[in-house]
Structure 1
C-alpha cells in the first residue's frame, strides 16, 4: 500500500476517471446484494477501484416519513446532508491527491463508520504520526478508474438530485441504477430480515417513490432500470456500458441556463410537496388528538380519520397537478396559501363531528 502524502496537487497523472452511481429502489429490493456483486465484478473483471457506500451502514437508524421518529425527520435529513459532506471530503482528496481530513463539524460515530467503509474497500488508511481524523489515499484509489456506488432508497427525486449537484460541482461522471422489484417480493424479503421494517412503511414508499425519468429530467438521462431479482448477462453488460458512459462523459459544470431553471423548478415543486405533506400530517394528528380529548365516539373517530386522510391525499395530488381543484390557479410556490386552504377544508369536516357530540 502506498501513501500519497508527497504527491500534492491534481497534476502528475492526468485527469481522473471518477463517477458517482446512485443505486436506488424500495427496501429489500436487493440493492445491497447487487452493490456487493457489482463491486466484486468491477474489481475483478475491469480492474477498477470501487467504493460502495451503503447508507444503512453509516447513518443511524432513521425513520421514513416520520415513522418511529428516532431521530426526528429534520435530524435525519441533516444527517444525510452531513454524509454528503463526508463524501465531498473524499472526492476533494482524490481530485487533489491529498489526505482525507475530517470536517470540523461532524458526528463522530458516523464519521468513523464512514471511514471504516472506505478502509474496508482499500481506498484509505490512517496516516502515521497523524491524528485519527486524517487518512491517506491508497494506491488503488488514485491509480485506477474509481466508481463510487451510493446504496440507498433515494425514493425522492430531490435526494438523487443532490448527488447529481455534487457530480456537477466537481465535473464527475454521474449515473443512476434503479432496481425495480415487485412490492410483494420486497415485503416477503423484508419479513425474513432480523430487523424488519413495518410493512406499512414499504407500502408507503411504494406509493411515493419517484423513479428516474430521463424523458422529463435531462439530468437523469444516464439511468438504467433493472428488474430485480433477475440479473442476467445482458443486464450486466448494460450496467458496464452505463458506468463507462458516466466515466467518459463527466457532467459539465456550466450547463444551459434554461435547462437548469427547469430542473430547479422541478426540485422546488418536490420540496414544496414534501413540506406540505409533513404539515398536513401534523395537522391531522393534532386534530385527532383534539377529537379524542372531546371524547368523540370511537366509530366517529374512525370516520373522521378516514375523511381527513382522504382530504390530505386529495390536496397532495391537487398540488402535483397545479392546484386546479382547491386553489383554482396555476401551481404556487407560496406554501401558506395551500396550508390555509387545507385548514379551511379540514375545519369544515371537523365541525360535522364535533357538532354530533352536542
Structure 2
C-alpha cells in the first residue's frame, strides 16, 4: 500500500477516534501508519479557557507532527474535526509537497447521536462546541475534486468494523497527490468509483439475497458508472445514486 494521509472530518463525539483506531489495526501488517490526534493537545483547561489563539496553536502543532511523520515515510490518519475546507486543504498541501496520497473520510453521524455519545462518555467537550461545529461544517467534496471523500460514514447506522473494512479497500486505490489532476475524471477516481459501486452491490446482496442472480442489479451498477462519468458525479454522489436505484428496485416489488 502506498503512503497516505487520511483526513477524518466530522463533529466532536461522532466516532472519529474509534474509527481511526480500527483502521490502524487493519493496516499494521500492510504499512507503517500512525494517528495524529488534536485531542493530545486539548484538555479540560483548553475547553474551559477556549480562545482562537489556543486553537491555532493546537492546529499548528498537529500539522507539524503530521508533516514530520509523513517525512519519515509513515502514513498518517489525522484525527480532528477538520470542519472547514481550508483545514483539509492544509493537509492536502502536505501530500502535494511530499508526493504521497490524500483522502478524506466524512463521519456523518447525526448531531443528536453525537450529543448522546458525548454525555455518555463524560466528555469535557461542551455541548455548544458540538452544535457550533455542526452548523459551520463544510461538507467534504461540495466544491473541490481533491476534497471528495472516499467514504461517508454514519457510525450511528454502521459498525466500526464494516466502516473500517470499506475505507481500507478504498485507500488501496489512491495515487500520490502530485500525480492527481484536480478533475473529476482521473484514473484514481475511476478506480475508486469502481471499488465503491462493487461494495454497494455486495452490501445490497447481503441484505437482499433473493437478488443474487438478478440481472437488474448488474444493470443498475453499469448505469450508475455511466451516469457518474457522463455527469461528472463525485464518488459519494455515485454511491448514493446506486443505493437509491437498488432501493427503488426493492420498493417496486413490495
Task: Give the structure with the larger helix fraction.
Answer: 2
Shift of the 250–68 alpha-carbon distance from structure 1 to 2, 3 Å rule, reads same
How far residue 237 of structure 1 moved from its aligned partner, in angstroms, is: 4.2
Change in CA separation of 1:204 and 1:192 when aligned onto 2, cut-off 3 Å = same
Listed one character per residue, the Cα deviations across residues 22-58 of structure 1 (whole Å, up to 9, x for unaligned) are 0121111111111111111222xx5322211221024
Distance change in 2, residues 1:61/1:148 (3 Å) = farther
Tell me whether 1:17 sits opposite 2:39 in the alignment: no
Match of 1:264 in 2: none
Other-structure match for 2:59:
80
Gaps of 5+ in 2: 183-254
Q: Does 1:49 align with 2:32?
A: yes
Partner of 1:201: 129
| 1:32 pairs with 2:12 | no
Structure 1 pair 60–158 and aligned structure 2 pair: CA distance change class (3 A): farther
Instruction: Give the TM-score taking structure 1 as reference length.
Output: 0.46
- Kindly provide the CA deviation profile for residues 93-151 of structure 1, in whole angstroms up to 9, marking residues without a partner as x: 33xxxxxxxxxxxxxxxxxxxxxxxxxxxxxxxxxxxxxxxxxxxxxxxxxxx431111
Residues 326-352 of structure 1 show CA distances to partners (whole Å, capped at 9, x for unaligned) of: xxxxxxxxxxxxxxxxxxxxxxxxxxx
Find the residue that maps to 1:148 and give its secondary structure.
Answer: strand
The CA distance in 2 between the partners of 1:81 and 1:87, in whole Å, is: 10
Structure 1 segments unaligned to the other structure (5+ residues): 1-15, 95-145, 257-358
Tell me if 1:227 matches 2:210. Answer: no
**Larger Cα Rg: Structure 1 or Structure 2?**
1
Q: Indicate the residue corresponding to 2:198 in structure 1.
A: none
What RMSD over aligned residues (CA atoms) do the two structures have, in Å? 2.7
Deviation at 1:60, TM superposition (A): 5.4
8 Å CA contact 2:16, 2:107 repeated in 1: yes
Matches within 5 A, 1:230-249: 230-231=158-159, 235-246=163-174, 249=175
Residues of 1 paired with 2:59 and 2:116: CA distance? 28
Distance 1:164 1:58, change over 3 A: same
How far apart, in 2, do the equivalents of 1:152 and 1:28 lie? 11
Residue 250 of structure 1 corresponds to which residue in structure 2? 176
Which has the bigger relative contact order, CA under 8 A and spacing at least 6?
2
1:157 aligns with 2:85: yes
